[in-house]
Chains A and B, each alone.
Chain A
Amino acid sequence: MATTLTVKVNTTSNDTTDSGNFITVDLANDKFIWSDGSSAVADGQDTPTSAELNEAAPLSPSGSVYEIPKMFLLDYSDTGQELKEVDLAGSDQGGGGNYRYVLRFEFDAATATEPTLEAWDDSDHDSYADVCLGETGANDSYVKVVRTTAGSPGASWTGTAIAGGSAKSQMNGGAGALVGATTIYYNIRIELPDGSDPFAETPVLTVRFTWN
């Protein structure tokens, strides 16, 4: 049968694999939001308006890079309190640190090739022109990920920039296809470069995998 993937996110401050720490992401309806946060864009709040998101948006940095300090899961099904802060996301340059168990990818069976974690403008997977994806320079993507299945990333982890088909993360650490059911962990952050153009964008994160 086809291999299937379940994506979960840790919305607690417990950096452990306990299943109770994780919420299954409804890939059709839930979203991730990166923000400076505010009273309206905070853990336990309802879905923010565009105006509220704009008010809580980080300013384009001048003179240094800036890691957006807060990541939220917009949990579509938890009506009235949809926003859940992903406390452990990012490095210590933002709101995170030396944390392993943030994003959890559960493959229920083997794959024919090594799965990859990617970022694209949209589901067409034919461009990464968004500002946050580096526009045309894939390695300039603001979206950085680190695979943490085998160990902690270090408090000031930098991660791998992902955008398009050339800048992607090998989800088995380069060890090849998954030989059976496998759970893989990642941490993620968005770092704005000095002088970043303003943007409000909604790219897609993509897991690409195969089965025989």
Chain B
Amino acid sequence: MLYRIIFTDETDFIGISYKNTRWNKIPDKSIKQINFFLPDGNIFTLHGFEEYNHFIEATNDFYAGKKNNQNVGKTILRFQYLMGRLGDKVVSYRITLYQSDTSKYKTGDITRRVYQFGKEYNGKPTLGWKKGIKNG
């Protein structure tokens, strides 16, 4: 399981996997809380935000690589992003999914950052926001 959403009406919704997140199939109801199931087995909970977003960052490499060409040709899942918006601020939690020998971050590491809404990913907006409930 990738995540479990609990809505304000106490019903729930399940995301399955990184490649089948079902995020765009979430019912149009206010989210009370989301529990994300992390690669290391821990559970990470977000609640109290006006909106939520979630997406996976992946890369495809090509033209061969001299050092780590075993990864060329594969779709590598790099990061999972969990975001919550309050007003014009977005709190972003970036979870590392891929770790190389020289990676600064290890698999499962969480990086928390706060951005202006509309500049939450490399200074650019993101799509996929779902409504929550402030102080829910």
Contact = CB atoms under 8 A, between A and B. Distances in A.
Contacts, number: 135
Interface residues of B, number: 44
Contacts of A25: 62
Interface stretch (A13-21, A59-67, A89-97, A121-129): A121-129
Contact of A125 (B54, B59, B70): B59
Contacts of B56: 2, 210-211
Contacts of B70: 123
Nearest to B17: A2
Given A207-B60, A208-B57, A123 B69 contact: yes
Interface residues of A, number: 40
Contact of B71 (A4, A123, A208): A123
Interface in A166-212: 176-177, 179, 201-212
B113 to A, nearest CB: 15
Contact of B63 (A1, A205, A210): A205
Nearest to A165: B122
A155 interface: no
A27 interface: yes
Contacts of A210: 55-58, 81, 121, 126
A84 B68 CA distance: 25
Nearest to B16: A1
Contacts of B76: 123
Contact of B59 (A26, A32, A122, A208): A208
A205 B59 CA distance: 10
A124 B72 CA distance: 10
Interface in B65-96: 65-76, 78, 81
Contacts of A208: 57-59, 78
A176 B67 CA distance: 32
Interface string A30-68: 111000000000000000000000000000000000000
A81 B66 CA distance: 24
A23 interface: no
Interface string B37-73: 0000000000000000111111111111111111111
A40 B51 CA distance: 59
Interface of B: 18-21, 23-24, 53-76, 78, 81, 100-104, 121-122, 124-128
Interface of A: 1-2, 4-5, 7, 25-32, 110-114, 120-126, 176-177, 179, 201-212
11 contacts: A28-B74, A113-B122, A121-B66, A121-B67, A123-B68, A176-B125, A203-B63, A210-B56, A212-B21, A212-B23, A212-B53
